[in-house]
Amino acid sequence: MDTHIKFMVDCSDLLLLPQPTLATAIIYHHKHSHYYSIHPTLSQMDSELLSATCLHLACKTTETPRKLRDIINVGYYISTKQSTGTPTALVLGETYWQLKDTMQKSEIILLRILSFNTMIHLPYQYIPAVIYSIRGHASQPYLRRIAQSAFILVNDLVASFGTWMKIESRCGEYTAVTVALAAVYINLASVESMPMLDLKQVCRGFIREAHMHWVKGNLCNVDLNYRQVLIQE
């Protein structure tokens, strides 16, 4: 796991953030990194500052209210823990006010990089619907297992910068639904005792018949990229 991802995960745990909020923050970070990969001459902001800023903006976007002071305190606590091994609480003083001012400026920079488009469509909301659509083909224990594995697969894909950006570049606005379908479909194939469903059965109700070939190609792309993530790990 990348350092900045671990930092955000640790902060998210202390802030009790739901997974969609964390995933949104991670994708913000991906988009920021992608922007600077295109413009390498520009100077990037500090990694931990960026991670905290992404979390702060994600909390606003996903309507998960957390005070800026809490995010700064938690970020400082995790930062000192990772750097020195001894977590240190941030007292209300000059350092805090400097961090607050810097984060507010960083948020403006991040918003500009995102072109003020902060809405991130995530695959999580589609997985239950896909599972429900195939409920007649498997028992509840199998479906529960497939759903859990699909959520884990999506978490892995979201956390991987290269993989997520590749998928997003191919799928565009259909990234969320395609990844959700792929996550379920890939896990269906992993259950040996369950009859393999045709792709049309899984996608029915989500993708038009005319788009089936295009989606199938993208599902294969998601599968290949996910296998690369597993190999790297």
The CATH code of the domain that includes 34 is 1.10.472.10
Q: How far apart are CA 70 and CA 68, in angstroms?
A: 5
pLDDT score recorded for residue 190 = 64
- The pTM (predicted TM-score) of the whole model is 0.81
Residue pair 24/32 in contact by the 8 Å Cβ criterion: no
The verdict on residue 227 lying in a domain is no
User: Both 34 and 68 in a single domain?
Assistant: yes
Residue pair 211/172 in contact by the 8 Å Cβ criterion: no
**CA–CA distances in Å: residue 181 to residues 68, 82, 115, 177:** 36, 37, 28, 6
Taken in order 173, 2, 59, 49, is the CA torsion positive or negative? Answer: negative
Give the mean model confidence (pLDDT) for residues 32-51: 84
pLDDT score recorded for residue 55 = 96
The verdict on residue 151 lying in a domain is yes
The verdict on residue 228 lying in a domain is no
Helix (H) or strand (E) holding 38: helix 19-38
Q: Which one of 79, 114, 149 terminates a domain?
A: 114
Q: Which one of 57, 83, 114 terminates a domain?
A: 114
The verdict on residue 77 lying in a domain is yes
Residue pair 226/157 in contact by the 8 Å Cβ criterion: yes
User: Both 83 and 169 in a single domain?
Assistant: no
pLDDT score recorded for residue 177 = 81
* pLDDT tens-digit readout, 143-174: 888 888 889 888 988 888 888 888 888 777 77
User: Both 110 and 23 in a single domain?
Assistant: yes
Residue pair 46/4 in contact by the 8 Å Cβ criterion: no
Residues 6+ apart with CB under 8 A from 111: 57, 118
The verdict on residue 172 lying in a domain is yes
pLDDT score recorded for residue 82 = 83
pLDDT score recorded for residue 198 = 54
- Domain with 103, as residue range(s), is 3-114
pLDDT score recorded for residue 230 = 43
Whether pLDDT at 121 is above 80: yes
* pLDDT tens-digit readout, 85-108: 888 888 888 988 999 999 999 999
pLDDT score recorded for residue 192 = 53
* pLDDT tens-digit readout, 71-86: 999 999 999 888 888 8
User: Both 134 and 192 in a single domain?
Assistant: yes
User: Both 51 and 9 in a single domain?
Assistant: yes
The verdict on residue 120 lying in a domain is no
pLDDT score recorded for residue 110 = 93
pLDDT score recorded for residue 1 = 62
Select the highest-mean-pLDDT range: 51-60, 131-140, 165-174.
Answer: 51-60
Q: Which residue has the higher pLDDT, 222 or 175?
A: 175
Instruction: Place 221 in a pLDDT band, splitting at 50, 70 and 90.
Output: low
User: Both 101 and 131 in a single domain?
Assistant: no
Q: Which one of 65, 87, 114 terminates a domain?
A: 114
User: Both 78 and 145 in a single domain?
Assistant: no
Domain count, the chain: 2
The verdict on residue 181 lying in a domain is yes
Please name which of 168, 189, 188 lies closest in space to residue 179, comparing C-alpha atoms.
168
The DSSP letter of residue 192 is: T
User: Both 152 and 210 in a single domain?
Assistant: yes
User: Both 103 and 174 in a single domain?
Assistant: no
Residues 6+ apart with CB under 8 A from 147: 127, 128, 131, 184
* pLDDT tens-digit readout, 178-216: 788 878 877 776 655 455 555 555 555 554 443 444 455
The verdict on residue 17 lying in a domain is yes
